[in-house]
Structure 1
Amino acid sequence: MGGGRAVQKPIEIVVYGAEQICASCVHLPSSKDTFEWLTAALERKFPHQPFKMTYVDIYDPPEDKEKKSFASRVIEEELFYPVVLVEGKMVGEGNPRLKVICEEMEKYGYKAP
């Protein structure tokens, strides 16, 4: 096998957003649209390399303590959403860039063909 490390376990990418578009992001796609676009783009970029995509509505977060806590942070700190986290590290806010997200995934062993 080639150099670099292979994906050990599927990482989790979490997109935090809301139904309503962020006031500073009116010209951008909705959080849900961004989530769907990002999922499709990453599946194309890293085929046959599993990862978990999770969408969290900041106004209706799941019971998961970490996700609930970060959803509150998005609201309290008035972060531009959608906010994208890769394994807990914030890599995008408002208008997340695919390149930055891919670079973070590569640190976990993901490789583009």
Structure 2
Amino acid sequence: MNTESVKITVYGAKQVCASCVGAPGSKDTYEWLQAAIGRKYLEDQISYEYIDIETPPDVEKHQQFVEKIIEEDLFYPIVMVNDELVAEGIPRLKTIYNALDQYNIALKSS
């Protein structure tokens, strides 16, 4: 099976998005995604990063996307799979799994 490397990036903030009251925080969502994905997929080809939108790293693509989040008033956390936005606000596992399936990430055997 041909597999590719996948980077999952979660953009979020300590404070819950105003439109997502009652939802878990961004950091909690980031940790939850790692656990959920780890139960289904072999994680050899998956890496994760969390970007705090209040203090983004000095990397141009992250700073540009954080500006977009603020300018367009996007809901966070935002989940990216290889720089493709796959979830905004409260993420759905099925949507994220579908994105990972496009990269032929190996499933764990039962």
2:103 matched to which residue of 1? 108
Matched, 1:46 2:41: yes
Distance 1:55 1:74 in 2: 15
Distance 1:36 1:105 in 2: 17
SS in 2 for 1:104: helix
- Which of 3, 6, 10 matches 2:2? 6
In structure 1, the gaps of 5 or more residues are none
What is the letter of the counterpart of residue 47 of structure 1?
L
In structure 2, the gaps of 5 or more residues are none
Whether the 8 Å contact between 1:13 and 1:87 is mirrored in structure 2 is yes
The alignment yields a C-alpha RMSD, in angstroms, of 1.2
Give 1:50 deviation, angstroms: 2.8
Moved over 4 A (4+): none
TM-score when normalising by structure 1: 0.89
TM-score when normalising by structure 2: 0.92
Matched, 1:55 2:50: yes
How many equivalent pairs are there? Answer: 108
Give 1:111 deviation, angstroms: 3.3
Whether the 8 Å contact between 1:7 and 1:49 is mirrored in structure 2 is no
Give 1:22 deviation, angstroms: 0.3
CA offsets, 1:60-79, max 9 Å, x none? Answer: 11111111111111111110
What is the letter of the counterpart of residue 3 of structure 2?
V
Q: How does 1:70-81 map to 2 (within 5 A)?
A: 70-81=65-76
